[in-house]
Amino acid sequence: MARWEGTLRKIDDYRWEIPASHKPGMRVPGLIYASEPMLEGIREEQAAEQVANVAFLPGIVGHSLAMPDIHWGYGFPIGGVAATRVDDGVVSPGGVGYDINCGVRLLRTNLRESEMRPRLEKLLAQFSVNIPSGLGSTGKIKVGKKEIDEILTQGARWAVKRGFGTKEDLEVCEEGGCLEGADADKVSVRAKERGLPQSGTLGSGNHFLEVQVVGEIYEPAVARGMGIDAVGQVLLLVHTGSRGLGHQVCDEYVRTLRDVMQRYQIEVPDRELACAPVKSPEGRDYLAAMACAANYAWANRQCITHWARECFMSVFGRSLRDIGLEMVYDVAHNIAKIETYEVEGRKTRLCVHRKGATRAFPAGHPDLPPRYRQTGQPVLIPGDMGRYSFLAVGAEGAIRESFGSVCHGAGRTKSRHAARKGVRDADVASELASRGILARAASRGGLAEESSAAYKDVAEVVEVCHLAGLCRKVVKAYPIGVVKG
Amino acid sequence: MKRFDVIEHTADTGVVAYGADLKEAFANLAWAMSSLMADVEAVEERVCREVEVKAGDCETLAVSWLNELLFLLDVEGLLFRRFEVAELTDTGLKARCYGEKLNPRRHNLKGGIKAATYHMLRVTREDDGHSIRVIFDV
CATH code, domain with A229: 3.90.1860.10
Per the annotation, the verdict on A408 as an active-site residue is yes
What number is the average pLDDT over the span B40-54?
97
B114 touches chain A (CB under 8 A): yes
How many CB pairs below 8 A link A and B? 127
How confident is residue B26, by pLDDT bands cut at 50, 70 and 90?
very high
- Residues 237-266 of chain A with CB under 8 A from chain B are 243-244, 247-248, 250-251, 254-255, 258-259
Put simply, the answer to whether B117 touches A270 (Cβ < 8 Å) is: no
- Which chain B residues contact residue A443 at CB under 8 A? 109-112
Write the class of the CATH domain B4-137. Answer: alpha beta
- Which chain B residues contact residue A423 at CB under 8 A? none
Owning domain of residue A455: 9-484
The interface predicted TM-score of the complex, written ipTM, equals 0.93
Rounded to a whole number of angstroms, the distance from the CA of B9 to the nearest CA of chain A is 5
Instruction: Tell me the pTM.
Output: 0.96
From B115, which residue of chain A is nearest by alpha-carbon distance? A247
Put simply, the answer to whether A247 touches B38 (Cβ < 8 Å) is: no
B127 touches chain A (CB under 8 A): no
Put simply, the answer to whether A135 touches B9 (Cβ < 8 Å) is: no
* Sequential pLDDT tens for chain A (485 residues): 689 999 999 999 999 999 999 999 999 999 999 999 999 999 999 999 999 999 999 999 999 999 999 999 999 999 999 999 999 999 999 999 999 999 999 999 999 999 999 999 999 999 999 999 988 888 888 888 889 999 999 999 999 999 999 999 999 999 999 999 999 999 999 999 999 999 899 998 889 999 999 999 999 999 999 999 999 999 999 999 999 999 999 999 999 999 999 999 999 999 999 999 999 999 999 999 999 999 999 999 999 999 999 999 999 999 999 999 999 999 999 999 999 999 999 999 999 999 999 999 999 999 999 999 999 999 999 999 999 999 999 999 999 999 999 999 998 888 888 888 888 999 999 999 999 999 999 888 889 989 998 999 999 999 999 999 999 999 999 999 999 98
Of B10, B114, B135, the CB nearest to A412: B10
B56 touches chain A (CB under 8 A): yes
Put simply, the answer to whether B6 touches A417 (Cβ < 8 Å) is: yes
Rounded to a whole number of angstroms, the distance from the CA of B80 to the nearest CA of chain A is 13
Judge whether A229 lies within some domain. Answer: yes
- Which chain A residues contact residue B112 at CB under 8 A? 134-136, 203-205, 443
SS (H, E, C) chain A: CCCCCCCCEEEECCEEEECHHHCCCCCCCEEEECCHHHHHHHHCCCHHHHHHHHCCCCCECCCEEEEEEEECCCCCCEEEEEEEECCCCEECHHHCCCCCCCEEEEEEEEEEHHHHHHHHHHHHHHHHHHCCCCCCCCCCCCCCHHHHHHHHHHCHHHHHHCCCCCHHHHHCEHHHHCCCCCCHHHCCHHHHHHHHHHCCCCCCCCCEEEEEEEEEECCHHHHHHCCCCCCCEEEEEEEECCHHHHHHHHHHHHHHHHHHCCCCCCCCCCHHHCCEECCCHHHHHHHHHHHHHHHHHHHHHHHHHHHHHHHHHHHHCCCHHHHCCEEEEEEECEEEEEEEEEECCEEEEEEEEEECCEECCCCCCCCCCHHHCCCCCEEEECCCCCCCEEEEEECHHHHHHCCCEECCCCCECCCHHHHHCCCCHHHHHHHHHHCCCEEEECCCCHHHHCCHHHECCHHHHHHHHHHCCCEEEEEEEEEEEEEEC
Judge whether A416 lies within some domain. Answer: yes
Put simply, the answer to whether B102 touches A135 (Cβ < 8 Å) is: yes
From A50, which residue of chain B is nearest by alpha-carbon distance? B119
Put simply, the answer to whether A98 touches B117 (Cβ < 8 Å) is: yes
Judge whether A2 lies within some domain. Answer: no
Q: How many domains does chain A have?
A: 1
Put simply, the answer to whether A45 touches B37 (Cβ < 8 Å) is: no
